């Protein structure tokens, strides 16, 4: 991955984008797109679009830009903040975390509190933390002191700086799925230097973590011929992983291509052919019932929209320390560019 792309990725990961409050990350994504896309727009749901206009089939490269987060639900008289989760948390990873509250006056720092281990009963020590028993401390002396700083409804993210690790790995919060939005735009950048026949959109969709909402409305508006959905997937190359159920999915082994359920078989074959033709490593991932991605909301839209699914192996998903490989992201962008270039002036995906 070149240094310009890496800087954009790291900048994007430094922003906040809890589901329903994605504006900061979306603005950074659109700012980058304006350097090479023909059109850059945003809709009423916060979905961001970047287009390379062409006369061929309409292809959408989609990654959701939202992340899991939290939201203030109550400010008590002593100035402590109570909160609910946005998206699917493993509650126990939140204890002791530093957080960033996104308020109208700017970011407010805080920490997630719980009674210290010394003060827990023997029975309590053996139980996992639950969000309903945790609070956020911003240092306010009272509720009256806290209320000018934050409001009920303000969103929150964990404050965790990105770490570059050995082997070209990075660890950060929000890799699920700002890396998908990043790869969609990087593929569009690759295509911009040699225009394909297709009419291509990169889409940074909102609210996937709470129900595929942004992608559903965005693709209804675009009515594309095909969509390639980008997301992280569970790596199975760590201790206690289930390879029997999850397959052999390795970080630094290349992106995965899904087969089954909402993954259109012809698009899956085209993605494999594109990867093989370009010498791009990949693995096959199965989706026998559903994919757990925006494809589950896109494929049944309108009269049916053909989807392919390309994912990036990720360790420790839905934690503040998600981990992916930069080379997997680069290979995924190259795969998408090769796929789009393989689409001619006509694309017939009827299952005959």
Q: 77-127, pLDDT tens digit by residue?
A: 999 999 999 999 988 899 999 999 999 999 999 999 976 666 567 776 767
Lowest mean pLDDT among 116-120, 139-143, 145-149: 116-120
Residues 231 and 309: beta-carbon distance below 8 Å: yes
Residue 12 token pair: 């994007």
Cα–Cα distance measured from residue 339 to residue 106, given in angstroms and rounded to the nearest whole number: 42
Whose CA is closest to 226, among 301, 175, 291? 301
Residues 38 and 54: beta-carbon distance below 8 Å: no
Whose CA is closest to 170, among 8, 9, 3? 9
Pairing of strands 199-205, 169-172: unpaired
Arithmetic mean of pLDDT, 186-204: 96
Q: Which residue has the tokens 């407010």?
A: 108
Structure confidence at residue 92 (pLDDT): 87
Confidence of residue 69 (pLDDT cuts 50, 70, 90): very high
Judge whether residue 162 has pLDDT over 70.
yes
Print burial letters for 58-75: b (CB count within 10 Å at least 16), e (below 16). Answer: bbbbbbbbbbbbbbbeeb
Structure confidence at residue 312 (pLDDT): 97
Q: Which ranges constitute the DSSP H helices of the chain? A: 3-14, 23-33, 122-125, 143-146, 175-192, 213-222, 243-246, 265-278, 295-298, 326-342
Arithmetic mean of pLDDT, 11-37: 98
Structure confidence at residue 40 (pLDDT): 98
Confidence of residue 346 (pLDDT cuts 50, 70, 90): confident
Domains located in the chain, CATH noted = 3-67+173-342 (3.40.630.10), 70-158 (2.40.30.40)
Cα–Cα distance measured from residue 211 to residue 208, given in angstroms and rounded to the nearest whole number: 5
**DSSP character for 125?**
H
Lowest mean pLDDT among 64-68, 188-192, 246-250: 246-250
Structure confidence at residue 120 (pLDDT): 66
**24 is a catalytic site residue:** no
Order of strands, sheet of 163-164, starting from the edge strand that comes earlier in the sequence: 163-164, 169-172, 322-325
Residue 274 token pair: 């594109």
Whose CA is closest to 51, among 180, 190, 199? 199
Arithmetic mean of pLDDT, 167-173: 97
pLDDT tens track for 36-54:
999 999 999 999 999 999 9
Cα–Cα distance measured from residue 75 to residue 321, given in angstroms and rounded to the nearest whole number: 28
Cα 349-227-244 angle, rounded to 5 deg? 90
Print burial letters for 124-138: b (CB count within 10 Å at least 16), e (below 16). Answer: eeeeebebeebbbeb
Distances (CA, A) of 144 to 22, 106, 113, 115, 257: 29, 19, 20, 23, 53
Judge whether residue 317 has pLDDT over 80.
yes
Active-site entry in 22, 67, 186, 208:
208
Q: Any residues with CB less than 8 A from the CB of 83 and at least 6 apart, and which?
A: 70, 71, 72, 73, 131, 134, 135, 136, 156
Q: Which ranges constitute the DSSP H helices of 193-310? A: 213-222, 243-246, 265-278, 295-298
Cα–Cα distance measured from residue 64 to residue 219, given in angstroms and rounded to the nearest whole number: 13
Average pLDDT taken over every residue of the chain: 95
Q: How many CB atoms lie within 10 A of CB 139?
A: 12
Residues 196 and 341: beta-carbon distance below 8 Å: yes
The neighbouring-strand residues paired with 283 are: 256
Helix (H, G, I), strand (E, B) or coil at 104: coil
Q: Check residues 36 and 350 and name the one with the higher pLDDT.
A: 36
Arithmetic mean of pLDDT, 132-153: 97
What pTM was computed for the model?
0.95
Cα 211-217-223 angle, rounded to 5 deg? 130
């Amino acid at each position: 991955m070149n240094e310009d792309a890496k800087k954009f990725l790291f900048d994007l990961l430094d922003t906040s984008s809890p589901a329903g409050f994605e504006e900061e990350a979306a603005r950074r994504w659109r700012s980058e797109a304006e350097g090479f896309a023909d059109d850059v727009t945003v809709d009423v749901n916060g979905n961001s679009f970047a287009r390379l206009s062409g006369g061929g089939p309409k292809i959408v490269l989609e990654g959701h830009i939202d992340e899991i987060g939290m939201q203030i639900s109550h400010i008590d008289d002593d100035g402590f903040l109570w909160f609910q989760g946005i998206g699917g948390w493993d509650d126990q990873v939140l204890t002791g975390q530093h957080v960033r509250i996104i308020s109208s006056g700017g970011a407010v720092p805080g920490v997630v509190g719980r009674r210290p281990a010394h003060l827990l009963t023997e029975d309590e020590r053996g139980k996992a933390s639950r969000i309903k028993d945790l609070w956020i401390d911003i240092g306010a002396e009272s509720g009256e002191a806290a209320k000018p700083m934050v409001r009920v409804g303000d969103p929150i993210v964990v404050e965790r700086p990105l770490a570059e690790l050995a082997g070209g790995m990075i660890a950060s919060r929000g890799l699920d799925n700002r890396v998908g939005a990043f790869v969609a735009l990087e593929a569009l950048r690759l295509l911009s230097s040699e225009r394909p026949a297709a009419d291509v959109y990169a889409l940074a969709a909102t609210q996937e973590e709470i129900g595929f909402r942004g992608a559903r409305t965005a693709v209804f508006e675009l009515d594309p011929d095909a969509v390639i959905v980008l997301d992280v997937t569970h790596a199975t190359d760590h201790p206690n992983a289930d390879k029997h159920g999850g397959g052999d999915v390795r970080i630094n082994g290349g992106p995965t291509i899904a087969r089954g359920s909402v993954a259109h078989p012809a698009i899956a074959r085209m993605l494999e052919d594109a990867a093989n033709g370009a010498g791009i490593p990949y693995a096959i991932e199965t989706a026998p019932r559903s994919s757990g991605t925006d494809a589950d909301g896109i494929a049944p839209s309108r009269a049916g929209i053909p989807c392919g699914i390309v994912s990036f192996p990720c360790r420790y998903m839905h934690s503040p320390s998600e981990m992916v490989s930069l080379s997997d992201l680069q290979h995924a962008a190259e795969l998408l560019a090769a796929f789009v270039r393989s689409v001619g002036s006509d694309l017939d995906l009827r299952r005959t």
